[in-house]
Copies of this chain bind each other. A is one copy, B any other.
Amino acid sequence: MRPRFYVPDLDATAACMSLPDDEAAHLVRVLRLGTGAEVEVFDGRGGLWLAEVVEVGKRSASVRPIARATPAPEVALAVTLVIGVLKADKMDDVVRDAVMLGAAGIMPVVSERSEISLSTVDKSQRVARWQRIAVSSAKQCGRAVVPAVGAARLLAAYLAEPVDGVRLICVEPSGTGDGVRSVQAVAKPTSAHVIVGPEGGWSPAELEAAMRSGAVPVSLGGRTLRADAAPLVALTALLTSWGEL
């Protein structure tokens, strides 16, 4: 695989496009590529080009796009992962996995049983960190789309806003109350928000509020999943069931 660089303002007709600072640093200092090296550049919105390195400075690098290339296929419907913020490393893995599975976007929410507060998420600039992880995961999995990681919000604030398509909220095996559906019973929508809880799950009040906002409770089977594996299982199961894996 050729080294891939993320150039959000990519102009495919340019004879010489300088890479953003962090991408240039990676090309120069980590990969130590020289003029003439073949690379790939992508704009994060689906455009991928074969390119040639045309200039290398101490901390800068420029490329010339040569020909359009074919990225990994995108999922035909927009699936957004709405995820109760998990502890540090686990959240990094969840963002990486969601991008790799083809999520269109990631929305972190803070709920009653989250082990981290909204102000801590904001102060620690985690959303910026998760966005960088999304870029790096797109590079690794072959996508030319970088899903946006939204600002963290309280679950209630997220539920208060209407969404296009369906809202699915994943519930634990014990939460087999009224109307819980299996993954197979969820008809393929035009777009979906898949809501997955934090380590401690949802409170009864949160589940009720989600259902009042139109969310359909979905079961991921009879065995209790680890919080950091549940998003991957939810996305894989739904995409498989919809013929989109």
Contacts and interface: CB of A to CB of B under 8 A. Distances in A.
Interface of A: 72-73, 96-97, 100-102, 140-143, 173, 182-184, 220-226, 229, 232-233, 236-237, 239-241, 243, 245
Given A232-B232, A236-B240, A102 B141 contact: no
A97 B240 contact: no
User: How many copies are assembled?
Assistant: 2
Contact of A233 (B73, B101, B241): B101
Identify which of A72, A142, A240 gathers the most chain B CB atoms within 10 Å of its CB.
Answer: A240
B97 A141 contact: no
**A-B pairs with the 3 shortest C-beta distances?**
A73-B222, A236-B236, A221-B245
13 contacts: A72-B173, A72-B224, A97-B226, A97-B229, A100-B225, A100-B229, A140-B226, A142-B173, A183-B240, A221-B239, A233-B245, A237-B245, A241-B241
A226 B139 CA distance: 12
B141 A225 contact: yes
Nearest to A143: B223
Contact of A72 (B101, B222, B229, B243): B222
Contacts of A96: 226
A245 B226 contact: no
Contacts of A97: 226, 229
A132 B186 CA distance: 37
Contacts of A233: 101, 232, 236, 245
